[in-house]
Amino acid sequence: MASIRKHGTGWQAQVRKQGHAAVVKTFRKKTDAEAWARQTEIAIERGEYAATKQTHTSPPLSDLLFRYLEQCTATKRGAVSEAYRIKTMLKHPMSRLSVKQLKASTIAAYRDERLEAVSPSSVRRELVILRHCLEVARREWGVALADNPVRQIQMPSESNARERRVSNDEIAALNKALNQTRNKWVAPVVRFALATGMRRGEILRLTWGNVDLDARTARIPLTKNGRPRTIPLSGPWGEHYIRHRIPGREHIHTSALSHWCHSEALVGRTNGIPNCLQDLPLSASHQVASWWYFGYRQRRD
């Protein structure tokens, strides 16, 4: 199977056949890359490629990252964010080095440079991807790499764990702003996050099939840590679902994420609450849940 992709200022052709090592070559024109790929496939099928086999066996890091992006990243739940990080690494000069040139000092220099631009957590995630990419290449793709250089360096520490809770004053300001926002989808989602502690993606993926109205619970089959969990829907939300269920609708909160995500962020920023929805799961502790429940009871009574 041949694949053609843009590579810097040229075009890279890669031919992969079962039982044969991948063959890669870069051309200035796409038509040349396509023609070479077809000829190489035919030569491999006929068993004639050995005579013209490439002598250089140390591919550039970019080849490994592209292959990892296609074969490994595409199968992951976090494919979008991981693809973004891989593309960031592909833009760096380090990606043009051959695998033989990759040393621990090279990776450490990349780490230190990135730490000046982004948070330690972001750099750590990039290095974890790179470490796994090199490990897969070494163990499964037949790349000549005696050791994984990423394992020889010190990884940045997770120094920016989220611990902030939204205060009662911020909750009051947030509720006031939610009542004024023109996007009708924002308020239900934000208030639901505050009451349940669920994450944004979990809320938007929640379907009626996951809700038990009799038991007043919602089951989340797909969570960030990979383990399903059940959320109690006590207080106003159980009754809210019974009263407002719309026949034929699969998802409880129906709105494209891009439509209301900007509104949610704007509501938080205008009221001095950065990352407001990300902080709400931490704020959905017993005190906040009680505040919401008893506040509702007082309004209802």
Say how far apart CA 71 and CA 79 lie, in whole Å. 11
Burial annotation 114-132 (CB, 10 A radius, 16+ → b, else e): beeeeebebbbbbbebbbe
pTM of the model: 0.55
Residue 77 has pLDDT above 80, yes or no: no
What is residue 262's predicted lDDT score, i.e. its pLDDT? Answer: 47
pLDDT of res. 238: 57
pLDDT value at position 298? Answer: 44
217-220 vs 211-212, strand pairing mode: antiparallel
Q: What is the pLDDT of residues 150-193, one digit of tens each?
A: 999 999 987 655 566 677 787 788 778 778 777 777 777 777 77
Cα–Cα nearest to 69, from 94, 86, 81 = 86
98 has pLDDT over 60: yes
The more confidently predicted of residues 166 and 259 is: 166
d(CA 148, CA 151): 6
More confident: 260 or 13: 13
End-to-end alpha carbon distance in the chain: 69
